[in-house]
Amino acid sequence: MQYENKGRYIVRFKDIPTPRTDFIEIDVDERRNNYKEVELGFDEERALREAKRCLSCRRCLGCALCWAECKPEAINFEMEDEIFEIEADSVIISPGVERALDRIDKKFGLAKDTNVITDLQLERMLNPGGPSAGLVIRPYDGEIPASVAFVQAYEKAAPNMHQAALTLAVNEAVLLRKKLPKAQIKMFASGLEDFAEGGKALETSGVEMLNVSVGSIDSANGQSPTVTFGSNGAAQSAAFDLVVLITLPQISKDARALTKSLGLSMTYANFLTGETSLIKTEKESLHLAAQG
């Protein structure tokens, strides 16, 4: 714990939730003349609130495990902060992408049903370097899903933002098909007609694309989410082992702050062009790296 004494490694975040959630306790009168347990622990609401508080603290504990695991030996606890001024002929900004998870409606069951995940979580599963070493599993029981549904989890979006979200989802469906060749895979979203050519290839490989909206995702037993969707004016339902919510990518807060400090007016979707070139800005020496 010696490194905790070095203040530069203890990063403070303004959004750390405080204070710690209190246990539920029985009344004073109820405690008299008996041996009843005073602290009753957490109910569901308090447990969720405390779990979120603990998981989002992100505070360095000073354990130095990062230093021990760093093979390039790039971590130096004795290094002092320095500020460098660099003159450059041009600057290229590559905006990061965030997911608007707070905009997902409760009807989709995220955080309520363990077998409802986001496309970002699936991306981590598909990654060989991810938490499951590239193995796609159901969070509820660790089983490999036999059926997977991709569901559009936002109502409206700018055309190029919607196109970007669907493109990422289709790419994940293709990768998932390679991982699970025998699984049933369906995609529920609007605007899938734009993927007509790619859709035919997906259908032949076992991915069915349905141009419909989803009304809700429910799970009575917490294991098999049921997707209720509209088709030809009538509601239909189908159960899946795993549901993947297609989320809306948005420009990161850091990128917005950076472009604002540089005097640029970056709009919500002007960096999603589908190209691999540089995007010109109001300033001749500043460019944006297009997100293809």
Closest CA to 97 of 266, 272, 258: 272
244 vs 220: which has the higher pLDDT: 244
Residues 254-279 have pLDDT tens digits of: 777 877 777 776 655 555 554 445 66
Cα–Cα distance measured from residue 205 to residue 277, given in angstroms and rounded to the nearest whole number: 32
Please check the confidence at residue 148 and state whether its pLDDT lies above 90. yes
Residue 221 binned pLDDT confidence (cut-offs 50, 70, 90): low
pLDDT of residue 141: 85
pLDDT 10s digits, 234-253: 788 899 999 999 998 877 77
* Amino acid 1: pLDDT: 44
Top mean-pLDDT range of 30-44, 115-129, 276-290: 115-129
Residue 114 confidence class, pLDDT cut points 50, 70, 90:
confident
Closest CA to 159 of 36, 269, 279: 269
Q: What is the mean pLDDT of the chain?
A: 78
**How confident is residue 204, by pLDDT bands cut at 50, 70 and 90?**
very low
Which residue is it, tokens 């994940």? 172
Domains of the chain are 2-69 (no CATH), 91-96+250-289 (no CATH), 101-247 (3.50.50.60)
Q: What is the pLDDT of residues 186-196, one digit of tens each?
A: 999 988 876 65
Mean pLDDT of 216-244: 83
In which order are the strands placed within the sheet that holds 278-280? 91-93, 286-289, 278-280
**Per-residue pLDDT tens over the stretch 56-106:** 555 666 677 888 888 888 888 788 888 998 887 877 776 667 777 777 888
Beta-strand relationship, 91-93 and 286-289: parallel
Cα separation, 116 vs 132, whole angstroms: 17
